[in-house]
Structure 1
Amino acid sequence: MPPQRYWEVIGQIVEEIESDQLDVYDCFDMNGEAYLTPLVREAINIRGKCFTEKDEDNFRAVVATSGVYGRHGLSDDERMALLLVGVDVKHQVEPQRCQRVCEPYRKDSPVFRNAPALWSLVREDLILVDSGEVSPSGQLLRFPSFLCRLHGHTLQHYALYENLYNTIAGNKLFLRIDQFDASQSDLIYVCEEAIRPIDPNFLKKMEIYKGEKKWGYYEVLPPEKVTDRQFLDYSRGFGRLEVVFKRNGNDLSCMIEELPSKVDGRVLTGLCLHATSKCPVGVSWNEAVADHIDGAINYYFDERALERFDSDISVTGCAASCRTHLFRIEETPLANMLPIAKLFFEAQSLQQDWINDQFRFIKVTDFKSSIS
């Protein structure tokens, strides 16, 4: 464990970078030049004396098999220490970076300064833009000749956006763009167990009554062998999928959140799909209409990250430290939630077990596989 002085130096490095108006991720880019100020060299000296077994497992092979930071006369231990310093500095600034992602739109941000007419498409919540007059293309959005980046947590989100744009008629789709990046460039970017299976019967006729709640919880556990179908989800760090349906007054609400298997540094990141519908009890799943379906990214920091990680969606009172919507569709079939979920969430084995539990009433031949 590094001594207290090390963390003091890490904090000073962050202040140094910010005062010079540099980007932390550029300064500690493994493919770039080494950022070697006196403070960074002091951090390297301290960090190089306290490698852990985990550090060796995660970084020794990288140093031995690559030329990372190899042009600066550093020893292998110093190069490894510099990699670890970069990780620790990034963890320090990650909450601020997440908050920046979630900030409401401002007219004076770079994108809206460069394309003022785009502001007329901003939704009243200042979070999304109307896609009726813009066209998503891969990881970019075109208006009409100006390009700006879309927000997506995973590469498959961009495929989801194009799919939604091509199938949702009228001005009923809203997307999230990066208001700070006007560069007009492309983005660079197990065994699981149903801890609590969700009730498979109520959705067939929306039989959930006022004040009632139905929920399920699916978790990835270490697979016994690499051939297990959940191995990929486990190796990529996915943890669990939580699902809750409830009726608030007369309105049906559904929330699904996918969480990783651990808190990453100071941040826990959740992908959240949410839908509401005014459909009464007795309406079939395939006939129900959602008032809206939206996808969001939730960031939980520090103590709140640990609190959320130790709770579940059915009882949690833990709000995200910050969050932003990535897309929103209005007045669409509720059944669209399934094909959207398949493109929005990443843990395929968890999704499949949830779907197998909750949608047994749907014949395989009738299963909705595309957005309509």
Structure 2
Amino acid sequence: MEVDHYFETVGIMADRSRLLNIAPHELVEKPGDHTSIVQALVSFRESMLTSEDEDWLTGYLSIGLFSDRGYRERLASFALAFEIDRELKRREIRRLCRPYTKDQRLFDRVPPLFDSIRERASGQSDRELIDLEAVVSVGGSEVYRAGSGFTTLCPYLSPKIVNWVIREWPGASTFIRLDADQYFEERPPQALMESAIVPASPRWLKDFSLRKGMKDFGSYQLLGRPLSDGHAEFWDYHVKMVRRLEVHVERRKDDYLSVMIEELPRPDDPDGLMIGRCIHLDTRDPAGTSIGDVKMQHLDLAINVYEGDDRRKRYDESLQQGKVIDATFRTHLLRIEDVPFTSLFTFAGTFLQSKVLLSEWVSDLIA
């Protein structure tokens, strides 16, 4: 087996893992009909083990998986399971970001739903978002009724955000990202755990003072401090892997202001991906408007996926000038129109992962 063939087969096994709904480590431990393929992969991976592999894989032996195999074969089995898992994640995020098409399972089973995809001002379909009025959540969960069956939200969009939007602005034009490859004849299990959203209320820009041509930029970073310096920062850095929050605000016209926010994780994750969480919004209210009266034209929640060299390029840039390298691929998760500007802080507090960085930004705004 050659290296290229190995990784090609790893990709095939990632597809099998998803199709069979089996975790990669379970597929490697109990391959069943795929025994000959897994054995060949493990054998090749064992022949490629390095001292660095041994250093980082040895710690996993205590888990007890692959216990019927020899020492080096167990190391190779763990390595293979991790590599299938990484490839599964890469393929999954690409799948989740794929533009909607009529051949996807959801639209194949519920054709009229394709007509509920959001249209841009140009009249063209954005092929990313579906009108919230076309579907109904099951008990406020991530499971939605679709035709006579069910589908689910894109997993990067929390149902808490959607529920809050429905409760606060039931008449607002709202669009959400559904997982169009998911369709179930019977209701699937729900993963939602109830958690209240507490709206933020910073005393931000009391006179909405940014005027035409003015810009504002903030960058907030986690530095990987020891646990003794704070549990929250340690958790955000070492578990959630968040590294930076950037905020760019610009008033291009007297009656047009835009805000771009992006939260970036570590750029060197072994899975080869850096998934940024992005918020974009704009308003036509002029400078001097009372902040409580300002309405957003729209607010978008999105994920920007940077892959390969794009990860480091994006991480080495900043939003200070309002422009950075394009994401390798991306998709919108939610769009809402004509809601209060101050709701931005609740959207941010629910969608962004690091509450430490968000708190630092809000503290700057109310200082």
Normalised by the length of structure 2, the TM-score is 0.82
Query: What code does the residue aligned with 2:258 have?
Result: S
Q: CA 1:165–1:333 in 2, change beyond 3 Å: closer, same or farther? A: same
Q: How does 1:1-372 map to 2 (within 5 A)?
A: 7-14=3-10, 16-17=12-13, 22-23=16-17, 29-32=24-27, 33-34=30-31, 36=35, 37=37, 38-47=39-48, 49-52=49-52, 56-57=55-56, 59-66=57-64, 68-70=65-67, 73-92=68-87, 94-124=89-119, 125-136=126-137, 137-143=140-146, 145-153=148-156, 157-183=158-184, 184-186=187-189, 203-226=205-228, 228=230, 229-236=232-239, 237-249=241-253, 250-264=255-269, 265-315=271-321, 316-360=323-367
Taking the aligned partners of 2:42 and 2:75, their CA distance within structure 1 comes to 12
Deviation per residue, 1:305-360 (Å, 9 max, x gap): 11001111224430111111111111100100011111111111111111111133
Name the structure with the higher helix share.
2
Do the aligned partners of 1:6 and 1:46 also contact (CA within 8 Å) in 2? no
Deviation at 1:16, TM superposition (A): 4.8
Query: What code does the residue aligned with 1:69 have?
Result: F
Q: CA 1:86–1:7 in 2, change beyond 3 Å: closer, same or farther? A: farther
Query: What code does the residue aligned with 1:22 have?
Result: R
Name structure 1 gaps, 5 residues minimum: 190-199, 361-372
Normalised by the length of structure 1, the TM-score is 0.81
Aligned length: 336
Bigger drift between 102-111 and 144-153 goes to: 144-153
Taking the aligned partners of 1:171 and 1:144, their CA distance within structure 2 comes to 23
Do the aligned partners of 2:283 and 2:298 also contact (CA within 8 Å) in 1? yes
Q: CA 1:255–1:16 in 2, change beyond 3 Å: closer, same or farther? A: closer
Aligned to 2:195: none
Deviation at 1:105, TM superposition (A): 1.1
Deviation at 1:280, TM superposition (A): 0.5
SS of 2:222's equivalent? Answer: strand
Do the aligned partners of 1:95 and 1:301 also contact (CA within 8 Å) in 2? no
Query: What code does the residue aligned with 2:66 have?
Result: Y
Question: % of aligned pairs identical?
Answer: 24
Q: CA 1:27–1:12 in 2, change beyond 3 Å: closer, same or farther? A: farther
Do the aligned partners of 2:46 and 2:72 also contact (CA within 8 Å) in 1? no
Do the aligned partners of 1:152 and 1:326 also contact (CA within 8 Å) in 2? no
Q: CA 1:201–1:147 in 2, change beyond 3 Å: closer, same or farther? A: closer
Task: Note the aligned Cα RMSD (angstroms).
Answer: 2.8
Query: What code does the residue aligned with 2:8 have?
Result: Q
Deviation at 1:141, TM superposition (A): 1.6
Taking the aligned partners of 2:190 and 2:248, their CA distance within structure 1 comes to 33
Taking the aligned partners of 1:329 and 1:255, their CA distance within structure 2 comes to 15
Query: What code does the residue aligned with 1:328 have?
Result: R
Q: CA 1:138–1:347 in 2, change beyond 3 Å: closer, same or farther? A: same
